[in-house]
Amino acid sequence: MLAIISKISTIVRNMVPLYALRLSYLLGSWLAPEATVHRAARLFTTPFKSTRSRALAAPTLGARERTLDVDGVAIETYIWGDPLTQPYVLFAHGWSSHGTRIAPWVAPLQAAGYAVVAFDQAAHGRSSGTQVTLPDFACYLLAVGHHYGPAAAVIGHSLGGAAAAIAMARGLVAERAILLAPAADPLAAVDRFGRFVWMAGWLNRRMFAIFEKRTRVQAEEMQAHTNAPRIGHPALIVHDVEDREVPWSEGERYARYWADSRLISTRGLGHNRVADDQSVIAAALCFLRGETVGERVVSSPNLPYGFA
């Protein structure tokens, strides 16, 4: 009984700050909309503090660590094998995550003859910075790829999947792409964030306008249906139909607009376990060997954005 009471007490303590935050955005939306929009923009581009502690606590599995200076930002990289003499796989992690999130893939990829390169995005893990946007994610991925040279493949999870597609459309050299639960639409992400913090929906687009002005990148330039058709390399998209963070429909959109791509739809793995699952890793290795896995998505006018 005491254990149950303690658990309930912990849940209540954790919920109180969340609801206080939500009420502040709900009231602020009407009482001080401009200040609320700018406060939301800061929160939206600031990773959870736990990304630092989790990166420091995560095992590096013997990786060599190197720090790259990218326009004054210290980007921490992790290298397994030798990307100068072996084909290598470049990994892009998602929001509030870290480079060593690739750990379950390292041994299978090395056994298949690949070196592996991962890195902590700006404001994440061991890298410097405090705030970061999707265009930044793509730029730092491009910089790491340029430093280590052409990759055999790029693997991107969640926001890292979106960054991988944007980077490949802008010159990242990778022969293949594996996107795990990729985010397809930054406007939809802002809407999800707004609903989560209870900010009035009419403020979402105003918040995104702050990002567009700051980065000089328009929303349309970051959407899947804009970038996927520009990429001439094969892709495997893996997305769980029960993903509660990034809807399966966003992975489907990549598969529909990416000419040489196939889609694997999992069930029960959610948003994060899809990046660790051994059957997903096995399918990805088959894809890297040139085998056919997944399904070809057929375009339909009944789906969002119509025909690809």
Residue 178 pairs in a beta bridge with: 155, 236
pLDDT for the residue 43: 94
Beta-bridge partner residues of 261:
235
- What CATH class is the domain 49-185+220-288? alpha beta
- Residue 17's pLDDT is what? 83
Measure the CA–CA gap between 21 and 26, rounded to whole angstroms.
9
pLDDT of residue 294: 85
Burial track 278-303 (b if 16+ CB lie within 10 A, e otherwise): eebbebbbebbeeeebbeebeeeeee
Q: Which amino acid type is present at position 68?
A: L
User: From CA 274, how far away is CA 281, in angstroms rounded?
Assistant: 9
Please list the pLDDT of the chain residue by residue as tens digits (308 residues): 434 334 334 444 566 788 889 999 899 889 999 999 999 999 999 998 888 998 889 889 999 999 999 999 999 999 999 999 999 999 999 999 999 999 999 999 999 999 999 999 999 999 999 999 999 999 999 999 999 999 999 999 999 999 999 999 999 999 999 999 999 999 999 999 999 999 999 999 999 999 999 889 898 999 999 999 999 999 999 999 999 999 999 999 999 999 999 999 999 999 999 999 999 999 999 999 999 998 887 655 555 555 55
Given the structure tokens 């804009």, which residue do they identify?
A: 226
CB of 260 within 8 A of CB of 167?
Answer: no
Residue 244 is given by DSSP the state S
AA identity, residue 65: E
Q: Which ranges of the chain would DSSP assign to H, the alpha helix?
A: 2-31, 33-44, 50-57, 103-111, 134-148, 159-169, 186-197, 204-215, 224-227, 248-257, 278-288
Q: What is the pLDDT of residue 5?
A: 35
